[in-house]
Each structure stands twice: as structure tokens, then as C-alpha cells.
Structure 1
Amino acid sequence: MNRRHFLQTAGAGSLALASGLTSCAPRYRNIAGHPMHRVPKLKLSLDRIVKETVGLRPFRASGPRIAKEALGNKTIVHNYGHGGSGWSLSWGTGNLARELVMTTGEKKVAVLGSGTVGLATARLLQEKGCEVTIYTKDLPPNVTSNLATGTWSPASRVCDPKVATPEFQAVWEAATRFSFRRFQFMLGLDDIAAWVDEYNVFPAKPINPSNPALGGEVYHLDGLVPKSQEINRRDHSFGADFVTWRSNMMFNIPSYLHHQMSTFIMLGGKLQVHEIKRLEDIDALPERCVVNCMGLGAKEIFNDAELTPVSGQLACLIPQSEVTYKLITKGANIIARKDGIYLGGNGLVGNWDTTPKREYTQEWVDIIQQVMQEMRS
């Protein structure tokens, strides 16, 4: 075989091989040019559940309390009662609380609580040159913030729109925009925040998919996360007739809380495990300005009759590397994080019980299994 014949033969073989590889590659668009959503199935069974938890969301019908009041010779700045929106609003309401602290002229500040709201508030105060000490009953992971789903949902059970004032909506919008900007700075940093695909999968179009009574979004801001798009049945893997998709932000809670705590300490913050049980305990603190980020702990201490728990159970599946999406369907939802795939779907107003109930987990497994079984190859 001469050199020219060899090169011609090898070239033809390479083209044939490339053609074969291309034909075997997954297709991401159908023949009409529409994007295809090929979603990997979830491996789902009760024996893959490795953890069940119940978290209590601190809900106030009128919305989070962001206010300043005097307590003897101290100033108390309140920042609590975020409902299901604490993670998303933490930076924004922390900024509003910081603005109130700045009016006092104090540079030594106490923050009560080491959940996501307390940590964000403490970090923001450090950025203004404050010496901050966090006083907390427990440390992560033994805080309510560790038991959240961890997705961008700034208006989930944030208030009762029948009670909240128009002025509160303006406060919420300012907090939401500030928080969103801060989370953008954290993208790409140790996977503590990331964009994921979010699917709504229903047999038919829901009458009110964002019903606040079911934990849906009370308010909405255009221009932050992309709008949901309905997907034609031929363009997705699900067996349901109504499917929507959008990109949304997700927080990997263990790494996020670790990052926040580590950064706070690195910048000179002080931390004391010290339970606050009554107003006298606050009065005994050396700081003259105190930011209350205690969540439900504020109910009894500050006699807040409006504050009530909304319990939410989660069941954690073993992580599955190819499953990286969030899915919402009637009666259940899943969100895939680095530390596990979480199933949930309930919110019990006024319930203080933090004991997981296996029947809820079984119901969610059954619902999601049905969705997976109806998926097309």
C-alpha cells in the first residue's frame, strides 16, 4: 500500500467512525429544532432513605419583623419571622437590619442566632467595621436552617397577603433584590450556590400553582430568575400532560453554613454558645446594640403572638450523581443537592412537633415513583 492510498483509506475510516459516534450521541433537539429535556430517572425506594428530619419555619402573617426598639439602655434590632423564605431573604433583610444598626453609632454588636439569617447579618455588619459576637443556643448543623430545602424562594410563606401591608411588599422587594445580587457573588465558590433545572410535572394544568396557602410564592419579581416555560409533550421525558421548566438557584446547605461560619471567624467574629431565655439575659450582654435573629425563639422572649411555626418534613435519599434537578408534582417534590436528594411536600401551620412521620415519606416515595414509572425512555 502506498502512502497516498493509506491516507485516503484512513481518512474514509475516520469519517465513518465520526459519523457512527455522532449518531450514537444523545440528541438535545428534536427534528423541529425544539430543545429536548432528557431527565434521568431517580432511583427511589424506602431502603434508599438515609435520613428524615422536620424543620420549623418561623411564620408571621404580616411578614418578617424588621424593626428597632429600646430595651433599657440597649437598642434591639429585630430580624426574624421569614417563614419559608429565610434562606433566600437572609442577605436582604440582614442589610435592612444593618442599616438600622448603623443609626445607633454602635460598633460593638451582638447577634442572637447562628442560622442563615444570623450569619448573613453578622457578615454584613463586619463589612461595615463592626465587632460582632454571635450568641447562639446551638451551632450548625443543630439549627433550623440546616433542615431547609435550600432553593431560591424569596416569597414562599413570607406573609399572608390578606394581612400584609403594601409597604411590606416594598420592603420585601428591596430585600429580594439585595439578596439576589449577593448570591450571584457566591456562584462558582465551592458549589455553595448553583443554578439547576426545575420542573413542574402535573397531569393537568393546576388552577393556582402558586397558591400561598400551599407554600407557594406570594409575590413575584421579573428579571431575576427566568420565567417558567411550558414544554410540549414531545420535548420532554415525562408522561404528564402539563410540564414546565425554568432555571433556579439552589444552596448546598452544609457547605454554605460552613463557609459563612468560617468566614465570620476568619474576619475576627466571636462566637459564644449561650442560650437566651428571657429579656434579662439580653440586658446582661456587654453589647449595647443587639440584633435579634432568633427565629421562633423570639416568640416567648419578645411576646410575639403573631409568630407561629410551620413544620416541614424532609426525607433524604442517597445522592445520585446524574440527578441534579428539582421536581415539583402534586403532593410531593424533590431537590437534588450535593449531600443528598431531598423529598418533601408538607407544611403544617402551628405544629411544634419535630418527630418525623414515616407515613409522609411513604406517600412521597409512592407519588415520585409513579412519576418515574410514567417517564419515557
Structure 2
Amino acid sequence: MTSNTDDLDVRVVGGGVIGLTSAIALAEDGHRVRVLSRDAADGTTSAVAGGLCWPYRIQPYERAVAWSVRSFQVLTDLARRPEETGSRMVTGTMTGGGGAAADAGDGVEDGLAAWYAAVPGLRRARAEELPEGSASGWRARTPLVDMPAHLRYLERRLTAAGGVIERAEVASLEEAGASADVVVNCSGLGARELVPDPGVHPVQGQLVVVENPGIEEWYVSADSGATDTTYLLPQPYGLVVGGTARENAWSTEPDPAVAEAIVARAARRFPELARARVLAHKVGLRPARPAVRLAVERLSGGVPCVHNYGHGGGGVTVAWGCADEVLRMVREVQEGRGPAHR
């Protein structure tokens, strides 16, 4: 898309998947974009994410599903070049929730009807396709993203569009906007202090990467409110086995007992995992909020700020849909139609 008005100087705060996709949408629209991030992309929470494109732990659901459908389309297209983009199309099974109740009929009851309609070939799993212990589920072919590789791709794509990435500790949004026309706040968990927004809190996720014993499909059993989940995500660097979802837990140190429990849960359904060699332990803090904040306000100095944070466990799944909305809001600001406060 090409802008019909003068381009703007935009500062994007945050260099994870939400910040990078927002920055790409703006840079490819012709704006002068500078991403300010304390951490390199591979040091952000996004780099720890499992990378399955499926709505999970994110509100408001109706908007999140629409954002997810858009991201599904983009990631499916990127999956044509998996080595370059990190996105691949992989078949798998969703049971026991995972944001979508496996026994939800046509999807209307759990708010995901539009998501189910958007995923080509999604269908009920047959009994022989379910692992032991699973009563029902869905079968689908969806994007599964190697997040470290994908983040590197996003950085290259942003740079190719003229964007700049700067390692910088941002003390305030006003500081970020001092020499800019617009600030885009994609600070994730950092928004708790930066905005400040006390509604932002961590949902800790721990996972184990093991040597893949030959599992080619993804598997998820994760009720939306469960503390302990079970998922297997085959990635090029190993099999990602999860996981946990612990509200308001701030530690990023792996807990050996939790790791043992994660593998044991998965091994009950996939016995070959009991002997798999452990390659790595990882912990990430999902930037949760009662609902995603995707809105415009004026900072104290008068600079418009587009907030785009609070995506919880759904960052990669909604990133491109949210980036489209960020671009729309910035265009409204350009045209003088953006709200002074929303």
C-alpha cells in the first residue's frame, strides 16, 4: 500500500514480533520508521514463543479472531519460503481447548466460528488420529513459525523498507516522541511501567526443547485458563515441549521440577518422549492484559501515540492483523481524523 499524504517520522517502541510487524506495515507504506528496543529481537519474549498460529489467551476474542485470520493469511503466504521466513505449514491436532474448545460444535459457542471458517480443511479428528487420553479434537494445517528465524526475517524486511532498528532504553513515551510525529507503543510487558498500565502482567511460560524422536505434527491440549498445558511443536532446531501458563509469575529461570513435569505430561500421550535428549530449557513472560490495547491517545507533549500491547500468548497469531490496524490509525492521524484520546 502507498500513502497519499506526506510520510511521517514514526518511533516504534519495542522490537518483538508486534513491534517489528507494526514497523514493517508503516515503513512499507512510506513512513520513516525507527524501532527503539532495549533488546535484540532474539532476546525478546517473542523469541521464546512456540510459534503456532492459533488464537490463545487473548481478548477481546471477536477482534482477536479477525486479527488472527489476517495473520494466518500472511503467514501462509510466507510459508512458501520457509527457510527465508521461518514460517511453515504443518498439520496437527488441537484438543481440550487451546483457546478453542474441542467439543464446541461449529465454533459458535467459543467465539471462534470465523477462525474455523478461515482455516482450510479444518475438521473433526477421527478417533485413530487422537493420542491416548484425548476424547476429541480438531485436525488442521496451520502456520508453525520458527520464531528466531522469523524475527531475523522481519528485521531484514524492515531494513529493506528503509526502517532503522536502534538498541535503546526508552525512559518514557514522551522521550520517544520528542523528535517524532507519531509514537507506536509495542512495549509488551514494559507497558506496565512505561504507560504506566497496572493491568499489564506476566503469564509465565516454561518449555523444554528436546531432540525430536520423529514427531512431524504439532499437538496442543491447552484449556484457555489452565496453568499446565501440553503441546508439542516440531521446529527445525528441535521438538518444543510445553508448557505452563502461570499468572503474575515473574521469574525467567527454568524450574527443573516443572521441566520434568512438562516432559512427563507429554510422554503420557507420546511415550517416545520419555527417552528424548533435552537440548534446552526456556522461559518467557507473556505480556497479558484483560484485553489488548489497540488505540490512540495524545501524549502530554501533544504527540499522538498508537498503543499496541497486551497480546498475552497470541502475539505471533495476531501480529499482522494488529499491524494493519496500527497503519489505519496512523493514516487517520495523518488526515486529521485521529481521536485526541481513545
By the TM > 0.5 criterion, same fold? yes
Q: Give the Cα–Cα distance (whole angstroms) in 2 for the partners of residues 127 and 308 of structure 1.
A: 32
Letter in 2 for 1:301: L
For the Cα contact (< 8 Å) 2:189–2:201, is it kept in 1?
A: yes
Partner residue, 1:342: 240
For the Cα contact (< 8 Å) 1:112–1:135, is it kept in 2?
A: yes
TM-score, scaled relative to structure 1? 0.60
Q: Give the Cα–Cα distance (whole angstroms) in 2 for the partners of residues 370 and 306 of structure 1.
A: 37
For the Cα contact (< 8 Å) 1:296–1:309, is it kept in 2?
A: yes
CA RMSD of aligned residues (A): 3.1
Partner residue, 1:131: 32
The 3-state SS of whatever aligns with 2:244 is coil
Partner residue, 1:6: none
Partner residue, 1:107: 8
For the Cα contact (< 8 Å) 1:113–1:292, is it kept in 2?
A: yes
Partner residue, 2:262: 364
For the Cα contact (< 8 Å) 2:54–2:68, is it kept in 1?
A: no
The 3-state SS of whatever aligns with 1:345 is strand
Report how many aligned residue pairs link the two structures: 254
Q: How big is the shift at 1:344?
A: 1.0
Q: 1:283 to 1:195 in 2, by over 3 A?
A: closer
Aligned partner (choices 189, 193, 212) of residue 300 of structure 1: 193
- 1:36-63: CA deviations, max 9, x gaps? xxxxxxxxxxxxxxxxxxxxxxxxxxxx
Q: How big is the shift at 1:241?
A: 6.1
Q: Give the Cα–Cα distance (whole angstroms) in 1 for the partners of residues 22 and 29 of structure 2.
A: 11
Q: How big is the shift at 1:230?
A: 2.7
Q: How big is the shift at 1:144?
A: 0.8
Note if 1:253 corresponds to 2:154: no
Aligned partner (choices 57, 75, 83) of residue 183 of structure 1: 75
- 1:23-79: CA deviations, max 9, x gaps? xxxxxxxxxxxxxxxxxxxxxxxxxxxxxxxxxxxxxxxxxxxxxxxxxxxxxxxxx
Q: Give the Cα–Cα distance (whole angstroms) in 1 for the partners of residues 40 and 249 of structure 2.
A: 23
Q: Give the Cα–Cα distance (whole angstroms) in 2 for the partners of residues 141 and 275 of structure 1.
A: 16
Q: 1:210 to 1:335 in 2, by over 3 A?
A: farther
Q: 1:133 to 1:361 in 2, by over 3 A?
A: same
Q: How big is the shift at 1:373?
A: 3.5
Partner residue, 2:126: 231
Partner residue, 1:354: 252
Note if 1:158 corresponds to 2:51: no
Aligned partner (choices 72, 88, 95) of residue 194 of structure 1: 88
Q: Give the Cα–Cα distance (whole angstroms) in 1 for the partners of residues 131 and 174 of structure 2.
A: 57
Note if 1:313 corresponds to 2:206: yes
Letter in 2 for 1:180: F
Letter in 2 for 1:325: E
Q: How big is the shift at 1:218?
A: 6.0
Q: Give the Cα–Cα distance (whole angstroms) in 2 for the partners of residues 230 and 240 of structure 1.
A: 14
Q: Give the Cα–Cα distance (whole angstroms) in 2 for the partners of residues 325 and 237 of structure 1.
A: 12
Note if 1:274 corresponds to 2:168: yes
For the Cα contact (< 8 Å) 1:324–1:337, is it kept in 2?
A: no
Q: Give the Cα–Cα distance (whole angstroms) in 1 for the partners of residues 160 and 233 of structure 2.
A: 31
Q: Give the Cα–Cα distance (whole angstroms) in 1 for the partners of residues 194 and 95 of structure 2.
A: 43
TM-score, scaled relative to structure 2? 0.66
For the Cα contact (< 8 Å) 1:279–1:301, is it kept in 2?
A: yes
Gap regions ≥5 residues in structure 2: 105-109, 223-228, 274-342
For the Cα contact (< 8 Å) 1:332–1:343, is it kept in 2?
A: yes
Q: 1:147 to 1:374 in 2, by over 3 A?
A: closer
Q: How big is the shift at 1:132?
A: 0.8
- 1:173-193: CA deviations, max 9, x gaps? 442332222222212213421
Q: Give the Cα–Cα distance (whole angstroms) in 2 for the partners of residues 103 and 264 of structure 1.
A: 21
Q: 1:208 to 1:200 in 2, by over 3 A?
A: closer
The 3-state SS of whatever aligns with 1:132 is strand
For the Cα contact (< 8 Å) 1:106–1:289, is it kept in 2?
A: no
Note if 1:290 corresponds to 2:191: no
Partner residue, 1:84: none
Q: 1:327 to 1:190 in 2, by over 3 A?
A: closer
Compare CA radii of gyration and give the structure with the larger one. 1
Q: Give the Cα–Cα distance (whole angstroms) in 2 for the partners of residues 357 and 208 of structure 1.
A: 29
Q: How big is the shift at 1:200?
A: 4.5
Q: Give the Cα–Cα distance (whole angstroms) in 1 for the partners of residues 184 and 177 of structure 2.
A: 13
Q: Give the Cα–Cα distance (whole angstroms) in 1 for the partners of residues 75 and 206 of structure 2.
A: 26
Aligned partner (choices 330, 333, 354) of residue 231 of structure 2: 333
Q: Give the Cα–Cα distance (whole angstroms) in 2 for the partners of residues 200 and 172 of structure 1.
A: 18
For the Cα contact (< 8 Å) 1:313–1:345, is it kept in 2?
A: yes
The 3-state SS of whatever aligns with 1:223 is helix
Letter in 1 for 2:122: K
Q: How big is the shift at 1:279?
A: 3.9
Structure 1 window deviating more from structure 2 (289-298 vs 220-229): it is 220-229
Q: How big is the shift at 1:197?
A: 2.0
Q: 1:287 to 1:253 in 2, by over 3 A?
A: same
